[in-house]
């Protein structure tokens, strides 16, 4: 069914129709039915949005910080009032199971807004250093290019700190799952932000994303997506020497140390890998275990993963929904088929269509054994429900394997105590590491090393990304 006609674009405080007539169909990944449309904006639409943001920036940046904080407080209230609507949109748009969608796709972003408000306290106060006084000012016009897998959280991570800093925003949401950002835009409109402070143009990356990244009136580009996409954004932004923040791919590893609670480590790793059907940038998709416990770990992982039966995300018992699109489903199945062709073994799952799910973009939760650490399946981001279990010969070997990919976004270490686990965690080249099951913290800086990106999101450091720093020598 079609839930709604094409939604317009949001620019300069009002909704308006895109310059062209082209539309993007929004497909429910569970039913494969088109249920909404959004405009396919053009470069001229992006120009109009940037012009509005540029015209609004000086006045917004000049407002007292307390007024900007109050505006974000109003936004938070407007989002809270739409919590159920946001969750429903994620279930339809992304396929996240309803219970998980409410917790991770709605409540966590709302908590992140509160964390940003807390991080803003005192951040604009001048700081004296010897004969200098250090001031912060807004970076200017921000182009925020966001992904489909966590459409509200990743958008909050860019839009809210930009607004708090006194910067203005042009948001380009993912064309794959664009409906949640429309709810956000409605909340921003209700919150009463001045015209032009927030603008949104839907469309495809090579058109809108490229136009924004290379636009001469954009001062900063914040992008979350694939490493290939990040390269393209960085190249376009480099021509204008713009500030760039990139949150890209990952191939994160969990290391279970010899004396760790193996069952607990395996259970947590499988859950991390399969969360949101594996469509999570910081998913732990490699499990490294001592060779003498390898067979036990593979058996445990297979048994746990097999409980994540795919199904309708609206059914309360479902722990794994579909992948977001046919393209993503086929990509993940291709990784599994090639892994088998390379000599790996399927401990559970595989590329076959899940039983009883001929409709929808479903992939079986899959555990792969006997893969070479240098093989494609152990090196490249699959972005699907696929875990690779790898043996190691000692702690140094485990660290070498964990660090032995081009990525460095996340990781985990499981040990008999915190000190022993932390000593290994500090050797990992990744932006964040979970120690003995430490939970995600939306007030802590989030970002990667190596091909996983540059800059940080969330918390105080994430807010600082949106300021310029000026020194006055007195």
Enzyme catalytic residues: 247, 281
Count CB-CB contacts under 10 A for residue 393.
12
**Residue 271: which of 102, 439, 95, 441 has the closest Cα?**
439
Crossing angle between the packed helical segments 179-191 and 153-165, to the nearest 10 degrees: 30
Whether residue 407 contacts residue 293, with contact meaning beta carbons closer than 8 Å, is answered with no
* Unique residue bearing structure tokens 């990944």: 29
* Unique residue bearing structure tokens 């954004």: 233
DSSP 147-211: -SSSTTHHHHHHHHHHHHHT-EEEEE--SSS-HHHHHHHHHHHHHTPPTTSEEE----IIIIIHH
Per the DSSP assignment, residues forming a β-bridge with 170 are 143, 199
The DSSP 8-state label assigned to residue 446 in this structure reads: B
Residue 360 Rama label (left phi>0; alpha psi -120 to 50; beta):
left
The C-alpha angle 267, 273, 275, rounded to 5 degrees, equals 95
- Which helix (H) or strand (E) is 51 found in, with range? helix 43-62
Residue 301 Rama label (left phi>0; alpha psi -120 to 50; beta):
alpha
Q: Which two tokens stand for residue 109?
A: 């972003």
* Unique residue bearing structure tokens 């036990």: 296
* Unique residue bearing structure tokens 């875990």: 387
Alpha-carbon distance 181 to 33, whole Å?
A: 20
Residues 6 or more apart from 294 whose CB is under 8 A from it?
389, 391
**How far is the CA of 88 from the CAs of 85, 95, 99, 182, 301, in angstroms?**
5, 10, 10, 13, 31
Span between the terminal Cα atoms of the chain, in Å: 66
Say how many residues make up the chain.
Answer: 474
């Amino acid at each position: 069914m079609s839930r709604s006609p094409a939604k317009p674009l949001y620019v300069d405080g009002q909704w308006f129709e895109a310059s062209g007539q082209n539309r993007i169909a929004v497909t429910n990944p569970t039913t494969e039915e088109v249920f909404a449309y959004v405009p396919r904006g053009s470069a001229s639409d992006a120009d109009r949005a940037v012009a509005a943001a540029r015209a609004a920036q000086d006045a917004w940046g000049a407002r007292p910080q307390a007024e900007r904080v109050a505006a974000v407080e109003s936004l938070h209230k407007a989002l809270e009032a739409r919590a159920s609507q946001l969750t429903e949109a994620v279930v339809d748009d992304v396929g996240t199971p309803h219970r998980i969608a409410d917790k991770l796709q709605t409540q966590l972003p709302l908590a992140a807004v509160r964390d940003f408000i807390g991080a803003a306290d005192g951040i604009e106060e001048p700081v004296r250093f010897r004969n200098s006084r250090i001031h912060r000012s807004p970076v200017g016009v921000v182009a925020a290019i966001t992904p489909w897998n966590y459409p509200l959280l990743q958008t909050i991570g860019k839009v809210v700190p930009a607004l708090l800093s006194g910067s203005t925003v042009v948001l380009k949401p993912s064309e794959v799952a664009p409906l949640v950002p429309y709810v956000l835009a409605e909340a921003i409109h209700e919150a009463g932000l001045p015209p032009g402070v927030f603008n949104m143009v839907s469309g495809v990356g090579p058109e809108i994303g490229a136009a924004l990244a290379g636009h001469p009136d954009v001062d900063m580009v914040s992008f979350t997506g694939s490493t290939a996409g990040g390269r393209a954004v960085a190249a376009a932004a480099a021509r204008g020497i713009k500030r760039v923040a990139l949150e890209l791919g990952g191939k994160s590893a969990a290391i279970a140390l010899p004396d760790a609670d193996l069952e607990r480590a395996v259970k947590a790793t499988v859950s991390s890998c399969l969360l949101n059907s594996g469509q999570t940038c910081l998913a732990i998709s490699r499990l490294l275990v001592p060779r003498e416990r390898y067979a036990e770990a593979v058996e445990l992982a297979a048994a746990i993963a097999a409980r994540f039966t795919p199904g309708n995300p609206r059914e309360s018992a479902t722990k794994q929904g579909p992948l977001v699109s046919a393209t993503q489903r086929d990509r993940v199945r291709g990784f599994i088929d090639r892994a088998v062709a390379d000599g790996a073994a399927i401990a559970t799952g595989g590329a076959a269509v899940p039983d009883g799910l001929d409709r929808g973009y479903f992939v079986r939760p899959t555990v792969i054994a006997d893969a070479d650490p240098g093989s494609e399946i152990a090196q490249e981001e699959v972005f699907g429900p696929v875990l690779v279990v790898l043996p190691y010969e000692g702690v140094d070997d485990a660290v070498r394997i964990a660090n032995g990919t081009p990525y460095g976004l996340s990781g985990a270490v499981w040990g008999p105590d915190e000190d022993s686990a932390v000593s290994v965690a500090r050797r990992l080249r990744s932006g964040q590491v979970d120690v003995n099951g430490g939970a995600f913290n939306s007030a802590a800086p989030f970002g990667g090393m190596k091909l996983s990106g540059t800059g940080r999101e969330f918390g105080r450091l994430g807010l600082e990304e949106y300021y310029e720093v000026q020194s006055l020598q007195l």
